[in-house]
Chains A and B, each alone.
Chain A
Amino acid sequence: MRLIKPTERGLYVEPGDFYIDPWLPVERAVLTHAHADHTYRGSKNYLVSKEGERLFRTRLWNEGNIETASYGETKKLNGVKVSLHPAGHVLGSAQVRVEYKGEVWVASGDYKLTYDPTCAAFEPVKCHAFITEATFGLPIYRWTKPEILFEEVNEWWRGNVEKGKATVIFAYSLGKAQRIMKSVDASIGKIFTHGAVERLTRDYREMGVELPPTRYVGEVENRKDFAGSLIIAPPSAQDTPWTRRFGAHSTGFASGWMRIRGARRRRAVDRGIILSDHADWDELLTAINATEAEQIWVTHGSIETVVKYLKSIGKEARPLETKFVGDAPEAEISDEKEPDNHNLQ
């Protein structure tokens, strides 16, 4: 039985009559995480994780009927058991476990196994069928250990401090930005944020994630304050007049794609920081094995390659077409265009 199948509105669970991360308005949606390509506005009812509630409300402009479930808590939707389980991707990210007539399917959303101090760690869920992402589904993608990576970032930041320069890191404003501020050595200097980052950082703090103090760039009057500081901004801010205010600065871009020299050069930043919120090749295989699933469905990213590889090691694997972009090479999840969280007050 295909418990979860792709439709033109999104992944559909027919017996329960609900969608997972639908990209068009539906009656009932279950969301995996609050990135723009998974959380679309316009549906009537939402089920989201308690652990990420604030982020979902910001993304959804607090519109629609938003219901929450804690990780592991089971809800029943039209006789189908639904529960959310940590995916380790960003704060509140969840794998959706769906059970109907003894058949268990899990849609992973986006996930990673690497340690992230800003969200709960990925928990493997046993199932019959597992829908996995494959954003970095090539063996060339293997992440550096976070402690080594952030020591390099710290060293670069310290070097810039010595030269009187600001350090600007471009990173997604939801998740990666907070992961960076939590992981760097905040004693090196002040941390400033782009507006889009600041708003979501506020949400993180309100959800109980402890983060070092940050200040919104727009509040700074004396530009000299930026010298020696760390500024975190979304990728869309690169090469815009916005960065001029920082004076002499060194730039970095935080993404898994930075593992490849050509991608680093095309980005034209001073530092490529190999930091991803997605699973690398080894993590994908580890996660897939841990589910003990008989069937693997592969969505967004290197679909063909992962399917072919899984088949070659004796697994039943098939492609699943969706509209999720994951961390598409040049995709810019344009979160800075959304209004401030005015609906939340």
Chain B
Amino acid sequence: MKNFSDLYLALDQTNKTNEKVEAIVKYFQTADAADAAWAIYFLSGRKPRQIIKTAKLREWAAEISEVPDWLFEVSYDAVGDLAETIALLLPDTNAEGSNLPLAFWVENRTMPLREMTEDDQREAVVQAWNELDANERFIWNKLVTGSFRVGVSQSLVVRALAQVSGIEKEIIAHRLMGTWSPNTDFYLNLLEASAEDADLSRPFPFHLAHQLDFPLEELGEISDWQAEWKWDGIRAQLIRRGGESFLWSRGEDLVSERFPEITEASFSLPDGTVLDGEILPWKDSKVLPFAQLQRRIGRKTIGKKLLEEVPVVLLCYDLLELGGEDFRQKELQIRRAELIKILEKLPGEAQKTLQFSPVVKAASWEELTKIRDESRSRKVEGFMLKRLASPFRVGRPRGDWWKWKIEPLTVDAVMIYARGTGKRASLYTDYTFAVWNNGELVPFAKAYSGLTDKEIRRVDRFVRDNTIETFGPVRSVKAKLVFELGFEGIQKSSRHKSGVAVRFPRILRWRDDKKIEDADTLDAIHRMLEAEN
């Protein structure tokens, strides 16, 4: 228990990713398999449901601490967390902590409580408290009240386990999927070196593109090129191999469980198929705003209601593997033709979820440029231009594939808040911007990128010299600086004071030639919104 509580403390004490991974690695290097299995169970956000009623726990804690109820209440108010309040109030009995293993604590000292009578429960709880130190009590209290949570992402756990075992991240991620029981066998299998399952799940590296930074005509004949809309969703690879399906996001997260409709549709794909595409929120033959997709990203379990409100599709771009054969070196036009054949053979329901991204035909670059003006109303970011003869490459090579994005919408706005990032940097780098509304500045967007290091230092100086008030890491500053902000899309929002939410806001440049009176108005932004939709 001691090692696990030390791990919890270490994770709780730092916001730095590397230190978190380091702490997890340190734990697993020495942990017994049974303990390690439980640790993974907890670290990956799983938890047993509540075992003991909080009211009971509270009552017993107050009795043992000899604290009257009202004083317990006052203490709870000051701490804000019941498990912690109890841990802090209980008399110190064992400052050394418990050397019994985590698995023992969970399986023998925690789970059995569920079946006990109240009197036996009380006795067992008190006994547990006597054996644990303050931090362990806190963790254990959280366990029995079903509220244990560790602030790490699954991908950090995967990274650490990969580091400990020398097994690829993809394999670990795959093996952690679905339902499993936290026991010795599970952990030994997880770190099993034989990688029969590895080849099944492994995605290909993605082929990415640069923004076109020269005149279109220099690409040559338009007939050598394929133009597709550049969709704004999550780039993904759908793998169907050995009777199993895997959906990987470009961030190399296994997201199969987040998008059950895609996984289900994939069951109809022939074995040995890999598709490249974009996950998009899609309803009534139309793409929904990205914000809708975000509602589905953040969650572990997707409710029925959300599935109905925000259905997703995989809009397929490319075919990377067919019949188990690596197709990446074949020409795009050949891959594309096979892709369409496969998708057309799917049953009706699956066809609705696995669609192909349409190709836009134009006789000349001029005509294509004109069509590009429809981008905003189609809720896309412009075009992807791909050479018909191109293979599917690795990384972000120049030459064959280009992003040809539309110019962002722009607004001149005034900086009113600044926030520091990263303790080491201790620079003010995140800003909130406002526009005019009836003579008042209303906040409308936050942005943190787009300035040079030198400019950031100048703004940092400005923030320190012009602070009005400090709220924790945030400072309100005198309205003096004007910046040109760019963003990709704009939407109505009841959650924002300004009534609008913008997508991908960033600083295009510092307008030190402008006064705050020259900044845009909320009206102008609302007009943009109307024009957009």
A-to-B contact residues, CB < 8 Å: 138-140, 142, 148, 239-241, 243-244, 248-249, 251, 259-262, 264-266, 268, 270-272, 302, 305, 308-309, 312
Contact A308 B70, beta carbon cutoff 8 Å? yes
In the bound complex, CA of A271 to CA of B65 (Å): 27
* Neighbour of A140 across the interface among B12, B79, B92, B473, CB < 8 A: B79
Q: Which one of A138, A148, A239, A271 contacts B426 once the chains associate, using CB atoms below 8 Å?
A: A239
Sampled A-B contacts (24; CB under 8 Å):
A138-B78, A139-B65, A139-B67, A139-B71, A140-B78, A140-B85, A140-B88, A239-B420, A239-B426, A241-B426, A244-B426, A248-B424, A249-B424, A259-B88, A260-B84, A261-B84, A266-B472, A268-B473, A270-B13, A270-B14, A305-B74, A308-B70, A309-B68, A309-B71
- B426: chain A residues within 8 A (beta carbon): 239-241, 243-244
Given contacts A259-B88, A264-B13, 20 further A-B contacts (CB under 8 A): A138-B74, A139-B75, A140-B78, A140-B88, A148-B95, A239-B423, A239-B473, A240-B426, A249-B424, A260-B78, A260-B79, A260-B84, A260-B88, A261-B12, A261-B79, A262-B79, A262-B80, A266-B472, A268-B423, A302-B74
Check if B89 is an interface residue, CB within 8 A of chain A: yes
Within 8 A of A (CB), among B80-139: 80-81, 84-85, 88-89, 92, 95, 138
How far is it, in angstroms, between the C-alpha of A139 and the C-alpha of B423 when the chains are bound? Answer: 33
**Closest B residue by C-beta to A308:** B70
Bound together, the chains give a CA A24 to CA B79 distance in angstroms of: 35
Shortest B14–chain A CB gap in Å is 6
Residues of B within 8 A of A302 (CB): 74
Query: Bound state CA distance, A37 and B90, in angstroms?
Result: 33
Nearest to A247 among chain B residues (CB) is B424
In the complex, what distance in Å separates the CA atom of A312 from the CA atom of B423? Answer: 46
Nearest CB of chain A from residue B142's CB, rounded to whole Å: 11
Please report the C-alpha to C-alpha distance between residue A268 and residue B15 in the assembled complex, in whole angstroms.
Answer: 9
B65 to chain A: closest residue by CB: A139
Can you list the 5 inter-chain pairs with the closest CB atoms, starting with the nearest? Answer: A140-B88, A140-B75, A305-B74, A239-B426, A139-B67
Name B451-497 residues within 8 Å CB distance of A.
472-473
Select from chain B the residue with minimum beta-carbon distance to A251. Answer: B423
B149 to chain A, nearest CB (A): 12
Q: Enumerate chain A residues within 8 angstroms of B89, measured Cβ to Cβ.
A: 139-140
* Complex-state Cα separation, A270 to B9, whole angstroms: 11
**B65: chain A residues within 8 A (beta carbon):** 139
The CA of A260 and the CA of B88, in the complex, are separated in Å by 9
Contact with A along B172-199 (1 / 0, CB 8 A): 0000000000000000000000000000
Closest to B135 in A: A261
Give bound CA distance, A239 to B474, whole Å.
Answer: 12
What is the minimal beta-carbon distance from A295 to any residue of chain B, in angstroms? 22
- Residues of chain B contacted by A140 (CB below 8 angstroms): 75, 78-79, 85, 88-89
Chain A residue at minimal CB-CB distance from B92: A142
CB distance from A304 to the nearest CB of B (A): 9
CB distance from A51 to the nearest CB of B (A): 33
Residues of chain A within 8 A (CB-CB) of B12 are 261, 265
Contacts of A272 in B (CB 8 A): 13
> What residue in chain B is nearest A265 (Cβ atoms)?
B12
Q: Which residues of A contact B138 (CB under 8 A)?
A: 261
Q: How far is the CA of A138 from the CA of B65 in the complex (A)?
A: 13
For residue B14, which residues in chain A have a CB less than 8 angstroms away from its CB? Answer: 270
Residue of B nearest to A305 (CB): B74
> Which chain B residues (42-94) contact chain A, with CB distance < 8 Å?
65, 67-68, 70-71, 74-75, 78-81, 84-85, 88-89, 92
The answer for the CA separation of A140 and B75 in the assembled complex, in Å, is: 6
Min CB distance A283 to B, Å, is 14
- Give chain B nearest CB distance to A30 CB in angstroms: 33
A298 to B67, CA, bound (A): 20
A308 to B68, CA, bound (A): 11
A305 vs B74: C-alpha distance in the bound complex, in angstroms? 8
Chain B residue with the shortest CB-CB distance to A313? B68
- Chain B residue nearest to A261 in the complex (CB): B84
> Given the complex, which residues of A lie within 8 Å of B92, measured CB to CB?
142
CA distance A5 to B132 in the complex (A): 46
Across-interface contacts of A240 in B (CB, < 8 A): 426
Known A138-B75, A248-B424, A312-B68; contact A262-B81, beta-carbon cutoff 8 A: yes
CB distance from B358 to the nearest CB of A (A): 49
A241: chain B residues at CB < 8 Å are 426
| Distance in Å: Cβ of A6 to nearest Cβ of chain B | 24
* Bound complex: CA A342 to CA B420 (Å): 36
**Which residues of chain B are near A249, meaning CB under 8 Å?**
424
> Could you tell me the distance between the alpha carbons of A265 and B473 in the complex, rounded to whole angstroms?
12
Interchain nearest-CB distance for B154 vs A (Å): 22
- Could you mark each residue 416-442 of chain B with 1 if its beta carbon is under 8 Å from any beta carbon of chain A, else 0? 000010011010000000000000000
A272 to B9, CA, bound (A): 11
- Complex-state Cα separation, A308 to B505, whole angstroms: 54
Measured CA separation A174–B36 after assembly (Å): 46
Tell me, in angstroms, the Cα distance from A321 to B472 when the chains sit together: 28
What is the bound-complex CA distance between A266 and B15, given in angstroms? 12
Bound CA span A244–B79, Å: 33
Per-position contact with A for B268-287: 1 when CB-CB < 8 Å, else 0?
Answer: 00000000000000000000
Contacts of B67 in A (CB 8 A): 139
Report the Cα distance A281→B88, complex, angstroms: 12
Instruction: Determine the residue in chain A with the shortest Cβ distance to B80.
Output: A262
Q: A145: nearest residue on chain B (CB-CB)?
A: B95
Give the shortest distance, in Å, between B327 (CB) and chain A (any CB).
47
Q: Which residues of A lie under 8 Å from residue B472 when comparing CB positions?
A: 266
Q: Which of A142, A264, A305 contacts B88 (CB 8 A)?
A: A142
Residues of chain B contacted by A308 (CB below 8 angstroms)? 70-71
How far, in Å, is B460 (CB) from chain A's closest CB? 8
CA distance A12 to B12 in the complex (A): 47
Residues of B within 8 A of A251 (CB): 423
Q: Which residues of A contact B473 (CB under 8 A)?
A: 239, 268
Smallest CB-CB separation from B86: which chain A residue? Answer: A140
State A148–B134 Cα separation when bound (angstroms). 14
Closest CB of chain B to A255's CB: distance in Å? 15
- Considering the chains assembled together, what is the distance between the CA atoms of A312 and B84 in angstroms? 25
Complex: chain B residue closest to A156, CB-CB: B13
CA distance A302 to B89 in the complex (A): 16
- Output the least CB separation between A36 and chain B (Å): 20
Residues of B close to A244: CB separation below 8 A: 426
In angstroms, Cα B424 to Cα A148, docked, is: 29
A262 to B77, CA, bound (A): 12
Residues of A within 8 A of B79 (CB): 140, 260-262
Compute how far the CA of A312 lies from the CA of B85 in the bound complex, rounded to whole angstroms: 21
Q: Which of B15, B78, B84, B89 has the most CB of A within 10 A?
A: B78
How far, in angstroms, from A77 to B267 measured CA to CA in the complex?
94
Interface string of B363-406 (1 = CB under 8 A from A): 00000000000000000000000000000000000000000000
**What chain B residues lie within 8 Å of A268 (beta carbons)?**
15, 423, 473
User: Which B residues lie within 8 Å of A270 (CB)?
Assistant: 13-14
Instruction: Give bound CA distance, A261 to B70, whole Å.
Output: 22
Distance in angstroms from A263 CB to nearest chain B CB is 9
Chain B residues within 8 Å of A265, by CB: 12
